[in-house]
Structure 1
Amino acid sequence: MKAKTWLYGMVMATLIVPVGSSSASTDNSVAYTLNPYTVTAQRTKRADLDTPSATTVLTQEQLKATGASTVFDALSFVTGITDFSYGPGGMDYGAMDSRVNIRGIERGTLILVNGAPINLNGKNSVSGLNLDEVEQVEVVRGAASTLYGAEAMGGVINITTKSADESKNIAKVYGGNHGKKGYDVTLSNEKVRINVSKDFAGRINQVSPVRLDRAYYNSLGKSDQLSLSANVQLDDRWNFNYMRSESNSQYEQTNTSDNWLIRKQKTPTYAYNDKRNNAVLTYDVNDVKGIIFYNDRLLYGQTKDYRKYKNYSFYDNDSNYTARKIGGDIQKTWHLRNNRDTFVGGFMVSRDTYEGTSKANKDVQAGRNTLAAYGSYSYKISPRWTTTIGARYQVINDPVKDQHVFMPQWQTLYALDSTTSIYTNIGKSFTMPALSDSMAKNKQGKYIAVSGKNLKPEEGWNYEIGLKKIYDKSSLRIALYHMKFDNLFAWAPDDTGKKTIRINGGEFKNTGIEVEYRQHINTKWQWGSGVSYSNPQQQDYVKGAWELAYPKIQANAFLTYTNNKWSGGTSINWLTKRLENRDGRTNPDLIRWNGYIEYEVTKDSKIRLDVENILNRHNVITNGSYEYWDYPRSYRITYTQSW
């Protein structure tokens, strides 16, 4: 009943729009910013005003204007996104992965790079992506499994990298506090674009409060990351993109004893080497599009045995693994009834594998094959009213239990006038358990298959209604949604009492509203803001009680200025009404406030200053569980030279 009341309220809200001009801006750059084209939402190119779902499109300039140094942090400034990180900038803590979540559903976001999925083993880490090489990001909130399959329960994010269409070569160097330094080199012509970057970061002595149960706090050691990308335009139809990253990181659990010998003996060190490869071959001609993709991750970690005072030997981490995904997707678009209607149909095939590479889990090998057919038909009922019906049938050959999944979707869009539209979006989504979820450690320290044969996919429905309004120099977007999912994955105790067995637990539900506003004040100033209020709750499968799953309130805002050779801006993201962590404390408000200023020295060179976490807060970048902190106030100065 609450959900219905919210939906009825939203219908009334769509009739109450701010008074303004009804004509769209004639400035092409302004018009694109306020009403950008999106490909991800419908798998065909459409203006946002004509797209029946909640979407946000960020250009390279808008991403850099957040003042963030990583793709992960830049995404946190998008309304509806609440990230979860174990290390600053989205750094992964070995197999404890940072992740991007949409609308409060844990591990419910599918991330694409150039249209190809990069989620591996149920995780969507974007660590290793170079922010400078990102051309555009499209965020689609709400049901997306019909067009994209599993893991798109809360939505999908498509990251498009820069293509080989610029003849300029670029070199960047930067340095800052906390040991931050690095370089970035790009060589490009009309056919090939190659980028190489290397980042370094120093030690941070404390990135968590003192753990009350074990008398230690977490420290972050030195780290580095090498990124390589190549984009090759083979001909008018074929394009090839390849990315590789390799990072080295260290963490400590620093003992707090007053005795220096005990501190030294009981301070374990964890060192990780993380290699990732992503490759995608794209075919695009007329109305036929196809991709062949390959992703892998090779995680190798070592732990210092702090119990041996005289011999600080390292041994393999039990969570070392190799995960791979290979597949293809082909679609065709048909234009029917004199181009009034559109039908998109296609097929997708993929194989996922997981292999343990440590002594403890070396016998763990799991694979999953997926075959899917999907279609989406947009029918124009009248010049103002369009309805879209879609469906997906997916066959999954799974090591635990084979699945046959049917995902329907129904959307409508009504144009009140040339600058205002109302839409509805109803769809079913699902996700499968991670391949590693079917394994657990037994009393002998070996990993064995333990998940029950009745393990089901998480699945449920998204309901959404929204308003989009474009003025002369501003835009307004409002979305009201309700989500309800069953069979959420949970952990049950094994024969040792540890929660290592994957089962289906309780339910998840969330009802909320999102509002985004952007305005071009004049040719020099732009600003925008967004707010999300929701109540994401997850049911405890043992007690049956409903508990808060993610923060209730998120707000963000930005302001940018450009004038001749100078440009600058500031962005802020605020999370409140957060969860209680394991230490019995409620996570404090997260206030991430960044700023930047840039000066064009010559037409081929510029210098830029970025400052992150201006307030120097102990921002808690996890939600619930243990606390992990972001970087303290940090700055970096970047010099760019092109030729």
Structure 2
Amino acid sequence: MIHSLMRKRNALLTTAVLSALSLPAYAADADADSLQVKTDPIVVTASRTEQLLRESPASAEVITRKDIDRMGAENLAQALRLAVGIDIRENGMVGNQSAIRGLSTNQTLILIDGRRIRTEDTSQTANYYELQRINMDDVDRIEVVRGAASSLYGADALGGVINIIRKTPKQDSVSVLTDWTTRQKDGGIRVERKKRGKWALSSSFKMTDIHERGTNAASNMYGDKYFFNIDGRMELTKNKRVDVFLDYLRENLYMKDSATQGTDYNHDRISTGVTLSGEDKRGSYDLRAYYTYFNKDQNTRNRLTSALSSFDVMKFNSYILDGKRSVQLGDNHLVTFGGEYRVEDMESTRIQGAGTLVREGTTNHLGDSTMKYAALYLQDEWCISPKWLLIPSVRWDYNDTFGTEVTGKLGTTYQLSKNTRIKANVGTAYRAPTASELYFDWQHTPNAAMVVHIHGNPNLQPEKALNFDLGIEAERGKHFGKLTYFHNKVDDLININTTLTPVPFPTFHMLANGVYENVSSATMQGIEAELRRPLGAGFSLRGTYTYLDARDDTTGKRLEGRARHTASLQLSYENPKNGIDAILWNDWTSGYRYSEQVGRASVSRDANLSLMNFVIRKKFSDRFSAYLGIDNIFDKSSNALASDGRIWRTGVRMTF
């Protein structure tokens, strides 16, 4: 069933082929009584070219716009809740994890239309906030690729890739959207203008108001967020175009650190760029340049006197130039090659430096760092036969601090029969330490009884990983099943080693002293399973299960912050005639390893949790729909798993 690759022999990646790949593929099942319709989504992140999901060797999943609307997802975390093998639970203080197959959140690469997002760069904060920083009104689909992808995307892709694909204007429309939950409320507007002359444009604005929650809540940060975006496409010729974009994010947030102090979080992020892309007789090409400025300004004050006790300033600048070219070589080879040049500047009161910064009589040190990256990569899609696809890739990366690194990957899909196939991948990956991990120097007093001091380590070594997976998947009519074994071995895993020391003078408090270090070796392996089947009368059932064994190879102990078993059972209903769809699902987490402080000792424990959720949506017309949802129906709580009760959700979508 590798029909799309065989079509590439004649006109691969021309406009006609790209249009054809977007349409449903019709195929007859030898054992079926009637013709079945299959609508395979396109995967962009699994390889640097477009492929049908069923044919891509990578272990990938696509969350469509229909899935997003059915979930009533007002943020990326909610949209990813039903994805296989990804942990998006809330962080202990703020934000969400985005950990794939037991790897850490900072080992997942998050992209928007293939562009890197400039985010915080410590292992405790990287990507934690990003699942709440995406305006879902702009999203067309989300592509999740599990497994190492460094050979194509470089550092940060040890665990996998999440690529958010945004909408392109298809008609003249104005959409008004509003959501309300027991945690926040949202209001937004999106304007699309289809192509007139050479230009097509879209723009959106959204405001989010996060409610204040109790002091025992999993996340107690509250305040406002503002999103603004404008996208434009100019057709230069029939097969050549220029895309431009401008994104702006503003966060005005506050968190009560203790009974006597609180912190203001004022964040701004501006991203802008331009892309030239097109197709010719040989294949396709694109060249892109983009820039991101990210400013974090945080002030901790006495809640009674408003006196400033400490502050932090962090300014990030990223300059990125990348490009790629795909060329058809012979009948069975599509070769893609490209490169990237990236400069990341950071000026911060949280890293070592000789400078000083004074604010309201309070003095803080100020450090700066610049890191430069360059890369070249090469990939070949080799259609050995109509049943066998092989994709080797290799990437050379340069970091001005750590030198060069070469990573590679080999993926294959083999069709056992018309509706059954084997997929396998083996590859290497790496992640270089960030400026914060190398040069961190930050002291914070979250409350009167605790002082936290975190130190960077300039002797850190890059994380390196060997990853492989082997899976089999099959469909029969509308039934589908998939089983995958995965194995990740990471050397020099970067971690914070924290020690607690009692300090009696001048007042008794605990000093938490954290130092970044390399863990010599860790192994994360497990099994992913997925089953889907129709039940009739508009009902369908989907079940997913992941088993994970994550251990420190030196001590043999299980790694914390990971669950041994996660499972989900999802009952869906769809009635297009009445415009109603609904989903009832239950998520199980078992054997979640965490540590608990007992006196001066840290004790490892396992947590378990079962949560039932429900969403129903009514589509009154093509221009008006509404939904109602309940997360955690039975109001269950768990400190270890950051669950603190029931959430009601409702929203309305109107298009004019």
- Report TM bin, short chain: 0.7 to 0.9
Is the aligned partner of 1:346 residue 2:338?
A: yes
Q: Give the whole-Å Cα distance in 2 for the aligned partners of 1:206 and 1:615.
A: 21
Describe the shift of the 1:525–1:111 C-alpha distance in structure 2 as closer, same or farther (beyond 3 A): same
Verify the 8 A CA contact 2:63 2:142 in the aligned structure 1. Answer: yes
Residue type of the partner of 2:254?
Answer: Q
Aligned to 1:61: 66
Aligned to 2:204: 195
Alignment map for 1:246-261 (pairs within 5 Å)? 246-254=250-258
Describe the shift of the 1:493–1:557 C-alpha distance in structure 2 as closer, same or farther (beyond 3 A): closer
Residue type of the partner of 2:487?
Answer: H
TM-score w.r.t. structure 2 length? 0.81
C-alpha displacement at 1:479, in angstroms? 1.2
Aligned to 1:15: none
Verify the 8 A CA contact 1:558 1:570 in the aligned structure 2. Answer: yes
Describe the shift of the 1:581–1:268 C-alpha distance in structure 2 as closer, same or farther (beyond 3 A): farther
Aligned to 1:482: 487
Aligned to 1:103: 101
Describe the shift of the 1:508–1:589 C-alpha distance in structure 2 as closer, same or farther (beyond 3 A): same
Q: Give the whole-Å Cα distance in 2 for the aligned partners of 1:281 and 1:593.
A: 44
Aligned to 2:506: none
Question: What secondary structure sits across from 1:151 in the alignment?
Answer: coil
Describe the shift of the 1:61–1:389 C-alpha distance in structure 2 as closer, same or farther (beyond 3 A): same
> Greater strand percent: which structure?
2
2:319 to 313, 326, 342: 326
Q: Give the whole-Å Cα distance in 2 for the aligned partners of 1:23 and 1:335.
A: 36
Alignment map for 1:261-276 (pairs within 5 Å)? 266-276=259-269
Structure 2 residues without counterparts, runs of 5 or longer: 1-28, 195-199, 351-356, 358-362, 446-451, 502-510, 598-602
1:45 to 33, 41, 50: 50
Verify the 8 A CA contact 2:497 2:515 in the aligned structure 1. Answer: yes
Is the aligned partner of 1:565 residue 2:579?
A: yes
Aligned to 2:146: 141
C-alpha displacement at 1:380, in angstroms? 2.8
Verify the 8 A CA contact 1:219 1:253 in the aligned structure 2. Answer: no
Aligned to 1:214: none
Describe the shift of the 1:628–1:589 C-alpha distance in structure 2 as closer, same or farther (beyond 3 A): closer
Aligned to 1:377: 380
Q: Give the whole-Å Cα distance in 2 for the aligned partners of 1:24 and 1:361.
A: 74
Describe the shift of the 1:280–1:21 C-alpha distance in structure 2 as closer, same or farther (beyond 3 A): farther
Q: Give the whole-Å Cα distance in 1 for the aligned partners of 2:317 and 2:431.
A: 18
Is the aligned partner of 1:313 residue 2:313?
A: no
Residue type of the partner of 2:615?
Answer: Y
C-alpha displacement at 1:521, in angstroms? 4.5
Verify the 8 A CA contact 1:237 1:285 in the aligned structure 2. Answer: yes
2:241 to 220, 230, 237: 237
Aligned to 2:189: 185
| Greater RCO structure (CA 8 Å; 6+ sep) | 1
Alignment map for 1:548-563 (pairs within 5 Å)? 548-549=559-560, 550-563=562-575
Describe the shift of the 1:175–1:54 C-alpha distance in structure 2 as closer, same or farther (beyond 3 A): closer
TM-score w.r.t. structure 1 length? 0.82
Q: Give the whole-Å Cα distance in 2 for the aligned partners of 1:512 and 1:588.
A: 19
Question: What secondary structure sits across from 1:579 in the alignment?
Answer: strand
Residue by residue over 1:562-589, the C-alpha shift from the partner in whole angstroms, topping out at 9 and shown as x without a partner, is 2223222223332211012333473532
Question: What secondary structure sits across from 2:152 in the alignment?
Answer: helix
Q: Give the whole-Å Cα distance in 2 for the aligned partners of 1:273 and 1:453.
A: 29
Structure 1 residues without counterparts, runs of 5 or longer: 1-19, 209-217, 255-265, 621-626
Aligned to 1:263: none
Q: Give the whole-Å Cα distance in 2 for the aligned partners of 1:247 and 1:444.
A: 21
Q: Give the whole-Å Cα distance in 2 for the aligned partners of 1:23 and 1:334.
A: 39
Aligned to 2:653: 640
Identity score, percent: 21
C-alpha displacement at 1:364, in angstroms? 1.3
Aligned to 2:516: 502
Residue by residue over 1:159-195, the C-alpha shift from the partner in whole angstroms, topping out at 9 and shown as x without a partner, is 11111223221112343435x3331111111111111
Residue type of the partner of 1:615?
Answer: F
Alignment map for 1:611-630 (pairs within 5 Å)? 611-620=630-639, 627=640, 629-630=642-643
Q: Give the whole-Å Cα distance in 1 for the aligned partners of 2:49 and 2:615.
A: 35
Residue type of the partner of 1:557?
Answer: L
Q: CA RMSD in A?
A: 3.0
Describe the shift of the 1:115–1:444 C-alpha distance in structure 2 as closer, same or farther (beyond 3 A): closer
Q: For structure 1, which segment, 102-111 or 159-168, has the greater mean C-alpha deviation from structure 2 after superposition? A: 159-168
Q: Give the whole-Å Cα distance in 1 for the aligned partners of 2:66 and 2:131.
A: 19
Residues matched between the structures, number: 574
Alignment map for 1:182-581 (pairs within 5 Å)? 182-190=186-194, 191-208=200-217, 220=220, 222-235=222-235, 237-254=241-258, 266-286=259-279, 287-305=284-302, 311-318=305-312, 320-338=313-331, 340-357=332-349, 359=357, 362-398=365-401, 402-441=402-441, 454-491=459-496, 499-521=513-535, 524-539=538-553, 544-549=555-560, 550-563=562-575, 564-581=578-595
Describe the shift of the 1:243–1:219 C-alpha distance in structure 2 as closer, same or farther (beyond 3 A): closer
Aligned to 2:20: none
Q: Give the whole-Å Cα distance in 1 for the aligned partners of 2:569 and 2:336.
A: 36
Question: What secondary structure sits across from 1:582 in the alignment?
Answer: strand
Q: Give the whole-Å Cα distance in 1 for the aligned partners of 2:567 and 2:429.
A: 27
Q: Give the whole-Å Cα distance in 1 for the aligned partners of 2:31 and 2:325.
A: 36
Residue type of the partner of 2:340?
Answer: M
Question: What secondary structure sits across from 2:46 in the alignment?
Answer: coil
